[in-house]
């Protein structure tokens, strides 16, 4: 079992995992792209406002634990995760952990909807079986939470940041299947545009340095 991750480290790992699976053409991520991914306003619970210094410090700690690698050789350094190498998890498990890192405790239905772009689960039973495998390890990676007052379904949470603290929001209580697919598609396009803008900014800064030098 790796050491307990803090919230910034969890968000960094979750963002790297997500972008690797959803926008592989822009992966690994530059620092600017990673900062935008961590603080984006879609598919994040809670929405954060981490500074560049906080992200850099988290990357340094994660690099010491071999959970991330720094990739050099291009115009700007990029960052790649090594979660599978350290934890030895499957692709299905990686998809579930990605969502739990980024959005906190989730129901089976929420996980099925929110992992669609990460891994194709055929049935809710397949998701539940993957969760059971993660929960049955010698050092469990996830836990099945008791149903809280006002909730219709139970939820699962990851344990890599310690014991889960769950504060349900009105949005999370809505059925994810009831949410418009058009909204989901818009979120994806916004995320991709944010990544593209970050890459362009990094290239412009690199050109400026070359010209001034």
Mean pLDDT (whole number) for 2-25: 96
Domains of the chain: which residue ranges? 7-85+183-212, 93-179
In this prediction the pTM is: 0.79
Angstrom distance (rounded) from CA 51 to CA 54: 5
Q: What is the pLDDT of residue 28?
A: 97
Protein fold of 93-179? Arc Repressor Mutant, subunit A (1.10.10)
CATH assignment, 7-85+183-212: 1.10.10.10
pLDDT category of residue 75 using cuts at 50, 70 and 90 = confident
Using DSSP's 3-state secondary structure scheme, residue 148 falls into: coil
Q: How confident is the model at residue 187 (pLDDT cuts 50, 70, 90)?
A: low
Q: What is the mean pLDDT of the chain?
A: 86
Tell me whether domains 7-85+183-212 and 93-179 share a fold. yes
- Give the integer Cα–Cα distance in Å for 37 and 86: 23
Whether the predicted pLDDT of 178 surpasses 60: no
More confident residue, 138 or 191: 138
| Average pLDDT estimate for 140-146 | 95
* Pairing verdict, β 29-30 and 156-158: unpaired
């Amino acid at each position: 079992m790796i050491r307990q991750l803090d919230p910034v480290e969890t968000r960094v790992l979750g963002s790297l995992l997500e972008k690797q699976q959803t926008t592989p053409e822009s992966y690994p991520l530059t620092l600017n792209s990673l900062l935008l991914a961590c603080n984006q306003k879609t598919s994040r619970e809670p929405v954060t406002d981490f500074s560049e210094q906080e992200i850099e410090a988290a990357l340094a700690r994660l690099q010491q634990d071999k959970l991330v690698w720094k990739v050099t050789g291009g115009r700007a350094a990029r960052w790649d995760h090594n979660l599978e190498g350290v934890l030895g998890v499957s692709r299905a498990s990686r998809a579930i952990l990605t969502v739990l890192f980024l959005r906190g405790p989730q129901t089976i239905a929420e996980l099925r909807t929110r992992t669609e772009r990460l891994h194709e689960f055929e049935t809710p039973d397949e998701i539940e079986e993957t969760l059971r495998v993660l929960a049955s390890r010698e050092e469990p990676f996830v836990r099945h939470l008791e149903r809280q007052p006002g909730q219709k379904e139970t939820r699962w949470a990851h344990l890599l940041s310690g014991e889960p603290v769950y504060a349900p929001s009105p949005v999370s209580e809505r059925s994810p299947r009831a949410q418009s697919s058009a909204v989901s598609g818009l979120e994806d396009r916004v995320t991709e545009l944010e990544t593209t803008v970050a890459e362009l900014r990094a290239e412009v800064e690199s050109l400026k340095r070359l010209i001034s030098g």
